[in-house]
Amino acid sequence: MNREYFLTHTPLDFHFKQSPRDFVVEEIPLYEFSGVGEHLVIFVRKKDLSTWDMCSILANYLGINAREIGYAGLKDKNALTKQYISIHKKHEDKLRAFEHEKIKFLSFEYHANKIKLGHLKGNRFFVRLKKVNPTTSSIISQAVKSIKKLGMPNFFGFQRFGTDNDNYLKGKEILEGKRKEKNVKLKKLYINSYQSFLFNNWLSERIKFSRVIESFNEDEIKTLYDFKYIKEYKKQKHPFKVLDGDVLMHYPYGRVFYEELDKAVERFDQRDLSITGLLSGKKSYIAKDEAYFFEKDIDLKLNVDGARRYAWIYPHDVEYEYKENEAWGELHFSLPKGSYATVLLEEIAKREIN
């Protein structure tokens, strides 16, 4: 993948490695829990364990199937993470006696329903960057200000593509009938990875186009793109351009829809909506008119369900502090669900971080 960055500074040389000390994630629940019901909701702190690892440990301890444990999102293994899980309250007495060196229960409450995947608003992050000199810190500070003001592209992170970065190739081969995969979960993971690969390439192309609009005059742009609304695109203040025919979605959540270009631009500037990109497949909205120019190569009608994903997001409660004596930079920020902290760090660094 040829990842594009929207920030314009040169790549930065700092050190970041995911660890419980330097990477902390706290889940932001979608709603308040009712306090009554047959499900026990536990706020869990874990370290050096994936969510699946934790569920497996708890399931073995209780003598149940791990599928009986509800969770809203999969949290990183190489981090200190806090998230909500749900288990039937008949296990409460045994759970209150549970002890594990890498798992700690922070609170218990009740709710009527099992927590399901996706039932979260987002995540709050703490990240410590090391080997940061004063010059680099100054550039990081300006990058953070830009992200606070303008938002950032919502790429899928490297975690989506596997240790060898080839899961998307396996997904492509499965969809082309060149590869068989009996494991249903792995098959879905590989296909999702291919959808993510196509999305990331599309988003990079849109950033490149937006940069062309910002950098060249109308006549020069027309030699590259036979578009009707170039003048309107150049008038847009935001560096990521809304195109005629874009599929839009209310932000930070809501329905998918189309909007007239001038109204869409106004609402995008107000953060009332955002542009979406295609996760190729069935039952998904497809871009129209000039926006379809960038989507036509991923409108593959894959034999899986498709969807739309925010192309542009707005991190909130973003804070940066430099500790010169330790040569550390410390970041706090919140992201909507499905977005990656490492993508924000890569945008600041202008290079891959994994």
Catalytic residues: 76
Instruction: Assess whether the previous peptide bond of 11 is cis (omega < 30° from 0).
Output: no
Residue the block writes with tokens 């608003």:
121
Burial of 237 (C-beta count, 10 Å sphere; 0-12/13-18/19+): exposed
Nearest to 98 by CA among 141, 40, 50, 175: 40
* Coil, helix or strand at residue 42: strand
- CB contact at 8 A, 110 and 34: yes
Pairing of strands 120-130, 328-336: antiparallel
User: 68 phi and psi, to 5 degrees?
Assistant: -75, -10
User: Which tokens go with 323?
Assistant: 């500790």
Kindly calculate the radius of gyration of the chain based on its CA atoms and give it in whole angstroms. 22
User: Alpha-carbon torsion 264, 201, 196, 126, what sign?
Assistant: negative
Question: Cα(306)–Cα(318) distance, rounded to whole angstroms?
Answer: 32
Question: Cα(150)–Cα(344) distance, rounded to whole angstroms?
Answer: 13
Nearest to 72 by CA among 63, 64, 81: 81
